[in-house]
Structure 1
Amino acid sequence: MLLKKLSAVIACLSLRTSASPVHQPQSFCSPSYPASGWEIRDIFSQYVEQWVYQRDYSAAAAKYLSPNIIQHNPQIANGSAAMVAAVGPILANYDGPNFSLVVVDEEKGLAVTLNRYVGKPGTGLPIAGVTDFYRFDGTCIVEHWDVIESLPPNSTNPDPF
C-alpha cells in the first residue's frame, strides 16, 4: 500500500518537472500569459539554451522576446529584431560562453545571466564578462539590460571574471 502511494507521488512530481512539456507554443509572447515562478524559470532556461548556447538568435527572439522589447543598451534600438541584428555579428567573433550563471527571481519576474566570452584567435578581442538582466511580463521577456566588461591588456587581477 505504501509503495503504491509513493509511486503515485513520484509519478505526479515527474509530470510537473518534466523537461519536455506536452505543448510548446510557437511564442510565449503572443499573447503573454500569467506565469508561475517555476514556469518563468523553465521558460528562461529554454531561452538561455537557445540564445546563449545554440546561438539561434532569430528563433529564440521569435519565441521568447517581445517584438517590442525595451532595450537599455544605448547601442541597440528597442525591439527584438534590433537585438538579434546587434548580437549576432558581435558574438560571431567570440568563443563561449565559457561559463554561464543563471539566476531567476520568480516572484519579481527577473532573470540574470553571467557569461564569460573569449575573442576568437586572430580577432584581437579580449575576454569579456557579460551580465544580462531580463524582465518578464507573464511568459514574455519584455525588457533587457546588460553590463559588458572587457579584460584590459594590463589587468592586474588574475581572476577578474
Structure 2
Amino acid sequence: MLKKTIFASIFLVTASVAGLAVPVYAQDATQTQIVQDYELAQANKALVTKAFQELFGDHDLTALDRYWATDYIQHNPSISDGREAVKTFFESLGILTWPKQQVKFERVIAEGDLVMLQTVQPALENSPATVIVDIFRVEKGKIVEHWDVIQPVPAEATNQRPMY
C-alpha cells in the first residue's frame, strides 16, 4: 500500500510538472481513491487497446463478443447501436479480407471510464490515409459507448506538420 501511495504522489507531481491532465479531486480525496482511479484508467486503457487491436488489426469479429457490451451505444451516424450492428457493418465493408496489421496508437489517453485513441488508417486502394480519434466508455470491463472523429489526410496541406 505504501508503494502505491508513493507512486501516486510521484505520478501526480511528475504529471503536474510535465503539464499533463491530472484529475481534480475534492480536498477530501484520499491517496487510495487517487490510486484506484489511476488503476481503473490503466485497466480501461489496456482493455480498449487490446479490443481495438483484435478488431481493427487482427480483423477478429469475435472480439466484439469479448469486449463490447450487447447493448453498446454507437454515436457514429453510419452504424446502429448494439454489437451485432457493428459486426454487420464491418462484414459489409469486407473487414475479413483486409490485410492484418499491428495498430499503431499515436495517442492513448484515459481518465476514469473514458479512453481516447488516436490512430491512422493507412491508405487503402482509392482512399487516402485517415486520422481517427475514437473515444470509448467502459463499464464493468466492457466497452459500452463509442464516439469517433474521422478525417482524411489531404494530399496537399497548407503547413507541413503531420495531423498526428
Q: Which residue of 1 aligns with 2:120?
A: 116
Q: Percent identity?
A: 22
- Amino acid corresponding to residue 48 of structure 1 in structure 2: F
Corresponding position of 2:73: 70
CA contact (8 A) 2:104 2:119 kept: yes
Higher mean alpha-carbon deviation, 42-51 vs 67-76, is at: 42-51
Q: CA deviation at 1:134?
A: 0.5
TM-score, normalised on structure 1? 0.64
Residues 94 and 119, structure 1, Cα contact 8 Å, conserved in 2: no
Letter in 2 for 1:132: D
CA pair 117-140 structure 1, distance change in 2 beyond 3 A: same
2:122 is paired with a residue whose SS is strand
Aligned pairs (5 A) from 1:1-161 = 37=40, 38-56=42-60, 58-88=61-91, 89=93, 99-100=104-105, 101-105=107-111, 108-120=112-124, 123-158=125-160, 159-161=162-164
Runs of 4 or more consecutive aligned structure 1 residues displaced over 6 Å after TM superposition = none
Inter-CA distance 115–149: structure 2 relative to 1 (3 Å threshold) = same
Count the aligned residue pairs.
123
Structure 1 runs not aligned, ≥5 long: 1-34
Query: For residue 9 of structure 2, what is the aligned residue in structure 1?
Result: none
**Distance in 1, Cα, partners of 2:154 & 2:64:** 31
C-alpha displacement of 1:54: 1.5
Deviations 1:40-94 (A, max 9, x none): 33323321331232121x2110001011111000111111111122235275668
> How big is the shift at 1:110?
0.8
- How many angstroms apart in 1 are the aligned matches of 2:102 and 2:147? 18
Unaligned residue ranges in structure 2 (runs of 5+)? 1-36
Q: Is the 8 A contact 1:94 1:118 kept in 2?
A: no
- CA spacing shift, 1:78–1:44, aligned 2, 3 Å: same
Once the two structures are TM-superposed, the CA of residue 154 in structure 1 deviates from its matched residue by 3.4
Letter in 1 for 2:140: G
Give me the CA root mean square deviation. Answer: 2.8
Deviation at 1:124, TM superposition (A): 1.2
Judge conservation of contact 1:117–1:129 (CA < 8 Å) in 2: yes
**1:55 maps to amino acid:** H
